[in-house]
Amino acid sequence: MFGKEKTPFHVVVKAAFEEARQRGDRRLGTEHLLLGLLHHPDSARALGVDLEGARAALDDLDRAALRMLGLEVGDVPKAPRKHKPVPSTALTSSARAVINQAIKATTMKTRAAESPRRLALALLAQSRPDPVAQLIDQLRIDRAAVRSRFA
């Protein structure tokens, strides 16, 4: 899907697919893209969030959604689960739109350096009920402060 080059953007998207697989999700969503961004040190620093904290916050959101349905989930094992890889074509419409927006905001010359930043900005622009908007709120990320750091 993204060729064989190992640009920061490629690394972020590959990490997002791995995050979706580890969670047992069948599709890559915007929340996975945020987790993938946290594998990129500059993006994680600018967002002011660490990967483990974001994973825990996403798990909390999942538990809250299940409680709303009347389901109580106990502790989830910390050992990695064995799930099939998420196919590279299995993106939610939101994730596909965010990736396209990040790519279109760059030129071929600046794509390697600019795409993670553009992806972060596109994710910050998402609103509820998009899962990444809920995750950003759960993590208490100050959208305006992050935008200014990425400017």
Q: Domain holding 141: CATH number?
A: 1.10.1780.10
Query: What is the per-residue pLDDT for 86?
Result: 84
Strand partners for 28? 91
pLDDT tens by residue, 66-101: 788 887 766 655 555 677 888 888 999 999 999 999
* For range 21-33, the mean pLDDT: 94
Domain assignment of residue 119, given as a range: 8-150
Alpha-carbon distance 7 to 98, whole Å? 18
Count of structural domains within the chain: 1
Task: Kindly state whether residue 1 falls inside one of the protein's structural domains.
Answer: no
Identify the pLDDT of residue 68.
Answer: 81
* Residue 57 within a domain: yes
Q: Would 105 be classed as within a structural domain?
A: yes
Number of CB atoms found within 10 A of residue 17's CB = 21
Q: pTM of the prediction?
A: 0.87
Q: Is residue 64 part of a domain?
A: yes
Q: Is residue 16 part of a domain?
A: yes
Backbone angles phi, psi at 91, to 5 degrees: -110, 145
Strands (E), the chain: none
pLDDT per residue as tens digits for the range 40-50: 998 999 999 99
Contacts of 66 (CB under 8 A, 6+ apart): 72, 73
